[in-house]
Amino acid sequence: MKNFFEQQDRAKLVTNQLIFLFGCAIALTTLIVYGALLCIEVANTNQIVSLFNLNHLMLSGIIVVVGVGVGSYQKSESLKGGGPVVAASLGGVAVDPDTKDPQKQQLLNVVQEMAIAASIPYPKVYVLPDRSINAFAAGHTHKDAVIAVTQGTLDQLNRDELQGVVGHEFSHILNGDMALNLRLIGVVHGLLLMSLAGREILYHTRFGGRKKDGAWVLGLGVGLLVAGAVGWIFGQLIKSAVSRQREFLADASAVQFTRNPEGLTSALMKIAATTGSRSLIASPKAAETSHLFFCPPIKAGFFNAMATHPPLEERIRRLSGQKITRTARSTAMSTASLAGAEGISALAPSSQAMPVVSEPQTAVRSPMNHGAPVTVGNGPGLAVPEHLIHAQALLDELPELLLKAARSQVGAVAVVYSLLLDNNSATRNQQKQLIGKSSPAVLKAVNKIESAVDGVNKRSRLPLLELCIPSLTSLKLSTITQSLKCVQALVRVSGKLSVSEFAIKTVLHYRLAPHFTSNPSPAPTLSSLSDVADECALLISAIAQIGHSKPTDALYALRDSYHQLPRKSRPPIPMELPACSLPALSKAFKRLQMAMPEVKSAIADACIHTVLTDGKTTDSEAELLRAILVALSRPLPSFLDRTFTPSTPRPQSRKAA
């Protein structure tokens, strides 16, 4: 199975193909405008003209490029805010992390599990008011992504079905589809703008144009109208063709992720079984965003080629190996209102029809266990069932008091502060005094939860922090700035910067910065490991030294991990351990923000192998590795969470939610 980064590369390839196809559509549009200009010249001169006129061709190209460019830029600028802008334009309302609505709380729990399992920032969640069953994911990157579902989805689907739908949308995030989908909206709108401009010209020619210019302007208006319409049709065809293939990929990825084909199949069958609204969305923006949705949000046109989604029957057949017969459809309609496991068994075909791809295994040598191979549960960047199991186990292990605190603004800040409280009672009292000066309300919350935070497994502390991010991002800029200053003060009181404190500060910075910094991220320019050789050595050395008490073992882990780097661009292998410090790591993270994704991935792989060379993972290694991968925007391997016991039955109260 392709990992997260390979899927991104594939999405880039699809984007390049898309650019070529849209280039063809623009070329055709230009030829139509060119033909219109020739016709205008013939009408004005009453003479036969040459079929090739460089001036007319250049003018046609300028008209089309400017028209499409202006339209695309205008639409792209309106979508600059990413997923939240798209969700709001469709009538979506953000779900309060501290909501008391059981349906919305169940949705948040499912999204939470998926985000932890996929090792990406917890996306904002929206609910659309429509009573139909539908959902979508939108955003430029996983940092501004949203997951939105309709109210009908919450009303009509049980938890397994909801998990299947959310898994499908998360697959769009992991497969790199979101940015491609927003780009499609912009370019198609640019082609449509040509037609709208032609219509406006015709309207004003009819009611206000001068007679001597009437033929020329009329011809230009007709040309733009026809050219824009043709270009828009071709744009829709290309958009639909790309979207249909990405939907099949998302279905397959969702089943691979959740290992529960019944949930997704059952949701699709409920949509197929309903009549009338089906998956339709009432918003006037539904047409231009149709390719974002789980199922078609508008009625199908006359031609299947214009459909943005494959037929429901075909999607169900691919998932289950069965066709929807009239009998099956009738059965689904009669049982669509059932909830829980009975609803799934009545609606969904056998799960054996969809094979589940096994998790890849990787081995590395280790001198500490006599050369026996160390098994890596999965390569980084894979969204596999084991991730979801560990995410569910993590959430089950955390006290409900802390989960509730993480969903509120004051509680989330209190959790962050509590994670930084020192074990020494005198130091802790000083830290509490600082918290009280910053916010008495937060201090009160800290006193309420500090004992629960102290009892959290050390491996669960950073995942708990991740659960607080949605609530923290909803704070005002002034509030979050004050809170981060307090974080710095709490660390200074505790004395020397520890690995845990460094990891907490790193996660906070790289998770919150995209939401509170107006400056766009710089475009990556460092394309080779040789460009970041010092930073690469520093990261791997830090992991090696923190995980091995003997310098010889740390050096072996460092040198062995270098062999995991791509041979073509591999920097010279160090002969001794480079000196490293936590502040130096922070500087290295800043420079690595300029590295290409494949460079970050190579360094992430090497760091992961460094941790596993001795066949065990200490808590300090796990914390530092998690901080490194968050800073590099790389998903986490599931072995970081193997302190959990996913075989333990989930509590009934949590399972219901």
**Catalytic positions, please?**
169
Residue with tokens 């997951």: 147
Report whether 402 contacts 456 (CB < 8 A). yes
Strand partners, 136: 148, 293
b/e burial code for range 362-371 (CB count within 10 A of at least 16 → b)? bebebebeee
Counting Cα atoms < 13 Å in the Cβ hemisphere of 403 gives 16
Contacts of 441 (CB under 8 A, 6+ apart): 410
Report whether 432 contacts 466 (CB < 8 A). no
Between the CA of residue 625 and those of 281, 394, 563, 582, 642, what are the distances in Å? Answer: 43, 18, 19, 13, 14
Report whether 331 contacts 346 (CB < 8 A). yes
Contacts of 52 (CB under 8 A, 6+ apart): none
Q: How many CB atoms lie within 10 A of CB 657?
A: 16
Query: What is the C-alpha end-to-end distance of the chain, expressed in Å?
Result: 31
Which of 657, 606, 594, 576 is CA-nearest to residue 631? 594
Contacts of 451 (CB under 8 A, 6+ apart): none
- DSSP character string of 440-456: HHHHHHHHHHHHHHHTS
Contacts of 289 (CB under 8 A, 6+ apart): 86, 89, 90, 136, 138, 185, 297
Q: How many CB atoms lie within 10 A of CB 304?
A: 11
Which of 367, 354, 398, 275 is CA-nearest to residue 553? 367
Where are the strands (E) in 16-172, listed by range? 93-94, 124-128, 135-138, 146-150
User: Token pair of 381, please?
Assistant: 């960047």
User: Token pair of 636, please?
Assistant: 């986490």
- Rounded to whole angstroms, how far apart are CA atoms 244 and 291? 8
- Rounded to whole angstroms, how far apart are CA atoms 238 and 346? 38
CA-CA-CA-CA dihedral for 311, 315, 316, 317, to nearest 10: 100
Instruction: Report DSSP state, residue 287.
Output: T
